Amino acid sequence: MGTKQTLTPEDWIKAAFKLLTSSGPKAIRVDYLCKELGVTKGSFYWHFADLAALQAAMVEHWRRVATSDVIASMVSPELSPRDLFIRFIEDILDVPTREYGGPMTEVAIRHWAAGDEAVHAVVRNADTERLAFLTLQMRGSGLTGPEARSRATLIYATLVGLKQLTGEPGLPRMDIPGFVDAMLRPAPSNAAAVQAALVASATPVRCPEPQLEVQ
């Protein structure tokens, strides 16, 4: 009743992301997937030619939802540049992860890419595409060409880096609107100052006292 009769490729991809984020790239295995979905191996090979095909589909899916789809959803012209930036950044870092491997999909993909050149190539493409879009928007906000590019690079690198740290407890939470405002200010062009603005605007999460294991 509540259970679906037939599996779709999306079911396999979703299960594979779950394995990726929970147990790493090497956990993307046919038997694990089948256990997760309650079927036997033969079923997998009806949907995919081989494991490489599923992996390619995973990466391509990620590329679409975490890059092209987000960019495409931005072309509605009612957004101010500032709001567009905020939404883009929040979407890139969070939206595509909701349905699949949880909030750490982006980090898991980059970890996977470190050991798989095919994955790495797609991640590079995604970075390029996102950066080109951010640069274009920066330029549309009145910044000059090189300035637009360098600010876009800085903002993107900073946020990707912070996202990596999000896994650890006691992370600083980032104030994305405040950061965007600092990045859009035309004058100072001072990377260090902008970086300082981000750090200053980051509200540290309540940091629990370090607990010693006392019994």
Is residue 110 a contact point for a second copy (CB under 8 A)?
A: no
In the region spanning residues 153 to 182, those forming contacts with DNA, defined by CB under 7 A, are none
Chosen from DNA, a second copy, none, partner binding at 154 (C-beta under 5 to 8 Å by type): none
Is residue 45 a contact point for DNA (CB under 7 A)?
A: yes
Of the pair 34, 95, the CB lying nearest DNA is at: 34
Burial of 138 (0-12, 13-18, 19+ CB in 10 A): buried
Chosen from DNA, a second copy, none, partner binding at 40 (C-beta under 5 to 8 Å by type): DNA
Q: Which residues lie closer than 8 Å to 214 by C-beta, 6 or more apart?
A: none
Shortest distance in whole angstroms from residue 179 CB to a second copy: 30
Burial of 25 (0-12, 13-18, 19+ CB in 10 A): middle
Shortest distance in whole angstroms from residue 15 CB to DNA: 12
In the region spanning residues 147 to 166, those forming contacts with a second copy, defined by CB under 8 A, are none
Chosen from a second copy, DNA, none, partner binding at 120 (C-beta under 5 to 8 Å by type): a second copy
Is residue 145 a contact point for a second copy (CB under 8 A)?
A: no
Q: Which residue type occupies 190?
A: N
CA distances to 54, 58, 72 from 110, rounded to whole Å, are 18, 13, 23
Is residue 94 a contact point for a second copy (CB under 8 A)?
A: no
CA distances to 9, 36, 37, 64, 156 from 178, rounded to whole Å, are 40, 42, 43, 28, 15
Q: What angle do CA 105, 97, 77 make, to 5 degrees?
A: 130
Burial of 4 (0-12, 13-18, 19+ CB in 10 A): exposed
Is residue 14 a contact point for a second copy (CB under 8 A)?
A: no
Shortest distance in whole angstroms from residue 117 CB to a second copy: 5
Is residue 57 a contact point for DNA (CB under 7 A)?
A: no
Q: Which residues in this chain contact DNA in the complex, by CB under 7 A? A: 5-7, 29-31, 34, 38-47, 49-52
